[in-house]
């Protein structure tokens, strides 16, 4: 290979140039007027504006217009929040909170992939990467799920426990799940073994809800009996192959999401996603087949109000 080879990423700056640039930046950020001026400008508005008449310029103006309608900062009281709930902060993001909230709701509420949500938003004129949606779900999901759990009523006094296997990275792990008599998912736990971890789930449930259930229904797995004896609740424990259909059916939403996501990538990611998905599922699971159309519409509106108060 002949010819002069240039620097692949541009010629590196000299030590004198780097010192000069560093001194200029230091003078800028020590100037109170400059810092105050920069704090009032959105991050995307500080970038160089695209040429007029181009699609990039139209998209740039659309984002600027959306950012101008953003609510006040986290310390404000623009939105009423339920007592004991911390307001979620959306500052510093390129997109307004409404777009972030809609993307998270679509992904958690329906059996959609990240690219499906990206296409749905693109159809509405919002260009966002599926990777951004994934990061929004990871960051905001646990906070939203925590707020949703605070709205849930006290669970039923009959609990059902069951386990199902998941294949993660070629290895079999077990998903332990507890539901009450009305189908409310109480908790989930992803563990590599099937023997002593029933005790861990039971202890977690008793500590979380603060009372002993009247009935604790499981299948014939011996780990449940041993765990109930260790906790001193053996008299509440019932075992039966067909008594635990409530917990068996509760695995179906997880299986649908697992197929759509083409499997979970690790135990940590599975535990994190299922904990978030469980809170959203409990909020919107209004058991439509048991109510009339008018009652269902009322329950659905109440679920949406709960969601809006959690994401505020």
> Which CATH number is 193's domain given?
3.30.420.10
Regarding whether 124 and 201 lie in a shared domain, the answer is no
Determine, yes or no, domain membership for 103.
yes
Regarding whether 193 and 135 lie in a shared domain, the answer is no
**Average pLDDT estimate for 99-127:** 95
- Identify the three-state secondary structure at position 166: strand
Regarding whether 168 and 145 lie in a shared domain, the answer is no
Q: Which domain holds residue 288?
A: 49-68+79-150+282-312
CA 59 – CA 254 distance, rounded (Å): 37
- Identify the three-state secondary structure at position 168: strand
Regarding whether 166 and 94 lie in a shared domain, the answer is no
> CA nearest 184: which of 249, 106, 270?
249
**Average pLDDT estimate for 133-144:** 95
The model's pTM is: 0.70
User: How many CA atoms, within 13 angstroms, populate the side-chain half-sphere of residue 16?
Assistant: 0
CA 173 – CA 197 distance, rounded (Å): 12
**Average pLDDT estimate for 246-257:** 89
The runs of H, that is alpha helices, within the chain are 15-29, 32-39, 55-68, 97-109, 114-123, 130-150, 197-209, 222-231, 245-249, 252-260, 267-284, 293-311
The pLDDT, as a whole number, for residue 24 is 66
Regarding whether 247 and 187 lie in a shared domain, the answer is yes
- Listed ranges 130-134, 249-253, 287-291; the one with the highest mean pLDDT: 130-134
Q: Does residue 161 contact residue 178 with C-beta atoms inside 8 Å? A: yes
- Identify the three-state secondary structure at position 164: strand
pLDDT digits (tens, 9 = 90+) for 252-298: 999 999 999 999 999 999 999 999 999 999 999 988 877 888 888 89
Regarding whether 236 and 186 lie in a shared domain, the answer is yes
Look at the chain and report how many structural domains it folds into: 2
Q: In what order do the strands lie in the sheet containing 185-191?
A: 185-191, 171-180, 158-168, 215-218, 237-239
The pLDDT, as a whole number, for residue 199 is 83
Q: Which residue has the tokens 């969601």?
A: 307
Regarding whether 208 and 300 lie in a shared domain, the answer is no
Determine, yes or no, domain membership for 92.
yes
Determine, yes or no, domain membership for 30.
no
Residues 6+ apart with CB under 8 A from 301: none
The pLDDT, as a whole number, for residue 270 is 93
Q: Does residue 247 contact residue 241 with C-beta atoms inside 8 Å? A: no
The pLDDT, as a whole number, for residue 290 is 77
Token pair belonging to 294 = 């008018």
Regarding whether 121 and 162 lie in a shared domain, the answer is no
The runs of H, that is alpha helices, within 2-112 are 15-29, 32-39, 55-68, 97-109
Regarding whether 250 and 214 lie in a shared domain, the answer is yes
Could you give the C-alpha distances from 207 to 13, 70, 203, 261, in angstroms and in order? 60, 40, 6, 32
Band of residue 67 on the pLDDT scale cut at 50, 70, 90: low
Determine, yes or no, domain membership for 273.
no
Residue 5 pLDDT more than 80?
Answer: no
For the chain, the average pLDDT equals: 81
Q: Does residue 221 contact residue 194 with C-beta atoms inside 8 Å? A: yes
Determine, yes or no, domain membership for 32.
no
Regarding whether 135 and 208 lie in a shared domain, the answer is no
Residue 22 pLDDT more than 80?
Answer: no
Residue 85 pLDDT more than 70?
Answer: no
pLDDT digits (tens, 9 = 90+) for 31-49: 666 555 555 544 444 445 6
Q: Give the least confident one: 24-33, 216-225, 267-276.
A: 24-33
The pLDDT, as a whole number, for residue 43 is 46
Band of residue 80 on the pLDDT scale cut at 50, 70, 90: very low
pLDDT digits (tens, 9 = 90+) for 180-208: 988 899 999 998 887 777 788 888 889 88
Q: Decide which of 276 and 240 is more confident.
A: 276
Q: Which residue has the tokens 């009339």?
A: 292
Residue 74 pLDDT more than 60?
Answer: no
Determine, yes or no, domain membership for 28.
no
Residue 27 pLDDT more than 70?
Answer: no
Residue 121 pLDDT more than 70?
Answer: yes
Residues 6+ apart with CB under 8 A from 131: 114
**Average pLDDT estimate for 43-67:** 61
Regarding whether 293 and 249 lie in a shared domain, the answer is no
Residue 52 pLDDT more than 80?
Answer: no
pLDDT digits (tens, 9 = 90+) for 139-172: 999 999 999 999 888 899 999 999 899 999 889 9
Regarding whether 110 and 165 lie in a shared domain, the answer is no
Determine, yes or no, domain membership for 16.
no
Q: Which residue has the tokens 């008299």?
A: 235
Determine, yes or no, domain membership for 8.
no
The pLDDT, as a whole number, for residue 33 is 66
Q: Does residue 99 contact residue 66 with C-beta atoms inside 8 Å? A: yes
Phi, psi dihedral angles at 225 (to 5 degrees): -65, -45
Residues 6+ apart with CB under 8 A from 240: 217, 219, 220
Instruction: Tell me whether strands 171-180 and 158-168 are parallel, antiparallel or unpaired.
Output: antiparallel
């Amino acid at each position: 290979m002949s010819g002069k080879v240039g620097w692949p990423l541009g010629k590196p700056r000299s030590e004198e140039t780097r010192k000069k640039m560093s001194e200029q930046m230091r003078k800028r950020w020590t100037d109170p007027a400059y810092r105050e001026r920069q704090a009032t400008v959105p991050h995307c508005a500080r970038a160089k504006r695209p040429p007029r008449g181009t699609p990039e310029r139209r998209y740039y103006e659309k984002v600027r217009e959306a950012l101008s309608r953003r609510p006040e900062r986290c310390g404000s009281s623009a939105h009423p929040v339920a007592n004991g709930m911390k307001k979620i902060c959306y500052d510093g993001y390129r997109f307004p909170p409404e777009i972030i909230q809609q993307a998270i709701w679509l992904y958690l509420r329906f059996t959609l992939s990240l690219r499906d949500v990206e296409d749905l938003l693109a159809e509405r004129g919002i260009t966002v990467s599926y990777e951004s949606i994934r990061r929004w779900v990871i960051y905001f999901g646990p906070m939203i799920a925590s707020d949703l759990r605070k709205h849930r009523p006290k669970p039923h006094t009959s609990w059902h426990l069951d386990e199902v296997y998941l294949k993660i990275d070629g290895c079999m792990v077990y998903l332990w799940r507890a539901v009450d008599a009305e189908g409310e998912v109480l908790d989930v736990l992803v563990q590599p073994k099937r023997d002593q971890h029933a005790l861990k789930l039971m202890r977690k449930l008793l500590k979380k809800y603060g009372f002993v259930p009247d009935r604790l229904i499981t299948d014939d797995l011996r780990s449940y009996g041993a765990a109930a004896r260790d906790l001193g609740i053996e008299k509440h424990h019932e075992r039966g192959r067909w008594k635990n259909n409530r917990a068996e059916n509760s695995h179906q939403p997880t299986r649908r999401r697992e197929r759509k996501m083409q499997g979970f990538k690790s135990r940590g990611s599975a535990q994190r996603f299922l904990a978030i998905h469980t809170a959203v599922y409990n909020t919107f699971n209004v058991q439509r087949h048991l109510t009339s159309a008018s009652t269902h519409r009322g329950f659905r509106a109440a679920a949406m109000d709960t969601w809006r108060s959690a994401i505020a």
